[in-house]
Structure 1
Amino acid sequence: MIKIITRKYVGKENVYDIGVERDHNFVIKNGLIASNCFNKSHSTAYAYVTYQTAYLKANYPLEYMAALLTANSGDTDKVQKYISTCMSMNIQIEPPDINRSGVDFTPVGGKILFGFSAVRNVGQNAIAATLEARNEGGAFKSLADFCDRVDLRTVNRRTLESLIYCGAFDKIESNRQQLIQDLELVYDWAQSRARDKASGQGNLFDLLGGLSSSNDNKTNNAFETAPKAKPVNDYPPQEKLRLEKELLGFYVSDHPLKALRQVASLLTPINLSQLGEQREDTKLCVVVMLNGVKKVMTKKGDAMAILQIEDLTSQTEAVVFPKTYERISFLLQVDVRLIIWGKLDRRDEQIQLIVEDAEPVETVQMVMVELNPQQAANIEELHRLKTILQEQSGDKEKSKMPVIGIIQTEHSRKLVRLGWQFCVQDARITVQALQNARFPAHLRPLTGG
């Protein structure tokens, strides 16, 4: 580290970065001028840190990603990006577990476990009380056992509901709605027991438990006498995921788009986390979850909307202008899976997706055309295919149905998405035209197998 002793004006000079052509204007002792003292030291330090983190990621991926998630737990966008990175590294992220989770993200058994601190409505005092009770008495055997052992003045009803909804009790009881129904009775039961203990009183079961033989390891568990609600069915999968995301900020145990991941990557090679790398006005197609819809009125009184969308990698904002909104407004419902066509817009250093069209993923039909290796290498055959698709493109603004080429060999099967210029307007008519031209073709739903 160099300490600047004096500063001296030496005229106007350009200041250069790494690989300087001339000296920086830092005057040091004896009239000497420090040459590039800042940049070389910092570039070396950054290079060293980069090497260290790359080494850790390559050799200790679980520990590295758990630490990265913990360090950025307050930044929703970064955490979602890192969870997507974990998925690409085949690292599974598990929801919180009342018997295994700690404060932060933790590597456990080849997976990364959500920490209690990442769950909304679960404070530090509640976490400390939970970990203390678990360390003293071992794993919790039921919801009633948990309520009986923790301090309910610290772990309140809202905290317990959050832990149930996010899946923390799933390993004990997978039916979350049953746990919520039981909680109404169990919580009051546990509070009553806590009051009795505080006043020095006990019930008959406590007395019997205290009189049991010291040689008998099968002690009477008081939580087994706790009241239970009538059996109910669990929440539907979509509702479970919605509540889970509400409390964790992410879909963890599953994701509504996960089943579409492979086909979506073929259909939409650009994901939301890569939008910043694209040029303005780039034509895009993305498969997303619709998380929020904000209706806005223009100065002319026309309705438009600002959408909050997400895919498996990130979240962003999309804008639906009046003409498009009038056409697709009925589709814009929260928690709906959509395929969106649009273009990229940069305004005030902010990136937005301008929506030009949208369709529920359940109704999207892809045109699949099969080619053998000889056809794929034959210019005349490819020209014939190109001519048919161009004839079926119709109005370019309305041509959005993708065409996927299947190149089948004896030992492999390769899927290739044809360029935007080959998108067609009517998928069914296109398939018929291809079949008439002796190209094996069929429709495949985006949500199909």
Structure 2
Amino acid sequence: MAKIVSRQSLGVQPVYDIGVAQDHNFLLADGQVAANCFNKSHSTAYGFVTFQTAYLKANYPVEYMAALLTSNSGDQDKVQMHIANCIAMGIEVFPPDINRSLVDFTPEGKSILFGLSAVRNVGLGAIECILRNREADGPFQSLAELCDRVDLHAVNRRALEALILSGALDTIDPNRNQLVQDLSLVIDWAQGRAKDREIGQGNLFDMIMGGGDSPETSPAAGYETAPKAPLVADFDSQEKLRQEKELLGFYISDHPLKSVQRPARILAPINLSELHEQPDNVTLSAIIILAGVKPVITKKGDRMAIVQLEDLTGQAEAVVFPKSFERIGQHIVADKRLMIWGKVDRRDDRVQFIIDDAEPIEDVRMVMVELDPRLAGDIEQQHRLRNVIRSNQGDDPKYARVPVIAVIGVNQQRQFVRLGAQFRVKDPEAAVNALVKADFKAKATPLISA
């Protein structure tokens, strides 16, 4: 900490006026308005910190992002946003690993490991116990070895189950369900061994497996004798993801929207992390998963819902009012992947999404129109295309949700151009038929393959 030991006046010095975004009350007693100023030293310090940050991100991206994730680990929205940034930067973020993770986010090569402290129900005492044992005797080779080496008062049953379900023991055994089934048996076995060690009594089977007359002959002695439950199949991928979300707060080993990310770019949906930057009174689209649904009954008895949206970049709150709920209520179900349309609503410094329409990702379709590059710029061609599209927007164009994509060129020279929102159609099959009749090459295609 710096300590001021003296001061002196330097007279009038140049300063930088950084301005203000809105009206302020910097009014002096004589009626003059004071500018929002920083002196040179203050501005220089900020500039230097900015340079340092940019240098670290450019030259040590993995270490920088690991530190950024750790410093924001208490803010779930920021962590999710930074994980999305990691993916965009080509940095993979892996679930915690019992043999490699440290307390916090851990850089490793060109990837980042979740820290053990990120796992719910695993306290710092349990983590310190695991790390001490790992440093002293090396990595754990099995669940039995882990339970035998650590203090089961510090690393209790709840913590061990959380580590299994979060994927921290996948390198030991990828069948998480099997490990959960084995856990109670192995804990009882390990506690029995611990009691034997306390009174200096070895287990006969341990002595035989260790090849000597003392259980200390081999550190791994007797692990093969640990009991196992009957073989069971592993959890399905959706159940694994649900457990990861519950224990880590995020989908890590995979994400329900990851497979949609690339094909969805052509539709230009917004990212939830940028929701606060979007303009009012403009219809927007987003590809999301419903992280939570709270049904609401109005005073008139109408059904509506308050929902929690999530995508690869963050989360946001949304509302489905009764009129919209009547049309799309069957889709408003937790863990459902949807493409939604609606507008931003700002109230009391809160930003939320008002959902007007929604469609399951699996049902989202596009109309692809092939255009010859020589004719794509032809005004008459454009006029014919526009007329065909507008004649297929239905009675109310605002409910036309199917985007039209122009495919210009052939083979490797193709460019995909998404036409504006005013050129969406209502029925993709009817639109394709009309386009074909007008001598355009067109087809309807799903966003994702079945």
Q: TM-score, normalised by structure 2?
A: 0.90
Q: Any conservation in 2 of the 1:406–1:414 contact (CA below 8 Å)? A: yes
Work out the CA distance in 2 between the residues paired with 1:383 and 1:362. 32
Match of 2:162?
162
SS at match of 1:52: helix
Q: List aligned pairs for 1:386-401, cutoff 5 A.
A: 386-394=386-394, 395-401=396-402
SS at match of 1:79: helix
Q: CA deviation at 1:356?
A: 0.4
Match of 1:106?
106
SS at match of 2:181: helix
Q: List aligned pairs for 1:3-152, cutoff 5 A.
A: 11-18=30-37, 38-152=38-152
**Distance change in 2, residues 1:40/1:299 (3 Å):** farther
Work out the CA distance in 2 between the residues paired with 1:226 and 1:418. 64
Q: Which amino acid aligns with 2:439?
A: R
**Distance change in 2, residues 1:211/1:232 (3 Å):** closer
SS at match of 1:317: strand
- Pairs aligned (count): 425
Q: CA deviation at 1:112?
A: 0.5
Q: Any conservation in 2 of the 1:341–1:355 contact (CA below 8 Å)? A: yes
Check if 1:435 corresponds to 2:428. no
**Distance change in 2, residues 1:410/1:65 (3 Å):** same
Match of 2:366?
366
**Distance change in 2, residues 1:125/1:439 (3 Å):** same
Q: List aligned pairs for 1:259-298, cutoff 5 A.
A: 259-298=259-298
CA RMSD between the two structures: 2.1
Work out the CA distance in 1 between the residues paired with 2:130 and 2:220. 22
**Distance change in 2, residues 1:194/1:213 (3 Å):** closer
**Distance change in 2, residues 1:135/1:205 (3 Å):** farther
Work out the CA distance in 2 between the residues paired with 1:10 and 1:420. 53
Q: Any conservation in 2 of the 1:17–1:39 contact (CA below 8 Å)? A: no
Q: TM-score, normalised by structure 1?
A: 0.90
Q: Which amino acid aligns with 2:440?
A: F
Q: Which amino acid aligns with 1:16?
A: A
Q: CA deviation at 1:190?
A: 1.1
Q: Any conservation in 2 of the 1:93–1:112 contact (CA below 8 Å)? A: yes
Q: Any conservation in 2 of the 1:209–1:219 contact (CA below 8 Å)? A: no
Q: Which amino acid aligns with 2:424?
A: C
Match of 2:16?
none
Q: Which amino acid aligns with 1:243?
A: Q
SS at match of 2:55: helix
Structure 1, 54-63 or 38-47: larger mean CA deviation: 38-47
Work out the CA distance in 2 between the residues paired with 1:318 and 1:289. 12
Work out the CA distance in 1 between the residues paired with 2:120 and 2:371. 52
Q: Which amino acid aligns with 1:118?
A: A
Q: CA deviation at 1:218?
A: 7.7
Q: CA deviation at 1:42?
A: 2.6
- What 5-or-longer segments of structure 1 have no aligned partner? 19-37
Identity of aligned residues (%): 56
Work out the CA distance in 2 between the residues paired with 1:210 and 1:338. 57
Q: Which amino acid aligns with 1:393?
A: Q
Work out the CA distance in 2 between the residues paired with 1:45 and 1:119. 37
SS at match of 1:316: strand
Work out the CA distance in 1 between the residues paired with 2:411 and 2:147. 62
Match of 2:449?
448
- What 5-or-longer segments of structure 2 have no aligned partner? 10-27
Match of 2:14?
none
SS at match of 2:416: strand
Q: Which amino acid aligns with 1:430?
A: A
Q: Which amino acid aligns with 1:312?
A: L
SS at match of 1:392: coil
Q: Any conservation in 1 of the 2:365–2:446 contact (CA below 8 Å)? A: yes
Work out the CA distance in 1 between the residues paired with 2:209 and 2:219. 6
Q: CA deviation at 1:17?
A: 2.6
Q: Any conservation in 2 of the 1:268–1:287 contact (CA below 8 Å)? A: no
Q: Any conservation in 1 of the 2:145–2:220 contact (CA below 8 Å)? A: no
Q: CA deviation at 1:349?
A: 1.2
Q: Which amino acid aligns with 1:283?
A: T
Q: CA deviation at 1:39?
A: 4.0
Work out the CA distance in 1 between the residues paired with 2:330 and 2:105. 40
Kindly provide the CA deviation profile for residues 286-329 of structure 1, in whole angstroms up to 9, marking residues without a partner as x: 11010100112323332211010111111000100011112212
Structure 1, 203-212 or 140-149: larger mean CA deviation: 203-212
Q: Any conservation in 2 of the 1:208–1:220 contact (CA below 8 Å)? A: no
SS at match of 2:279: coil
Work out the CA distance in 2 between the residues paired with 1:329 and 1:4. 70
Work out the CA distance in 1 between the residues paired with 2:81 and 2:332. 25
Q: CA deviation at 1:331?
A: 1.2
Work out the CA distance in 2 between the residues paired with 1:302 and 1:228. 53
Q: CA deviation at 1:127?
A: 0.1
Work out the CA distance in 2 between the residues paired with 1:210 and 1:80. 48
Match of 1:406?
407
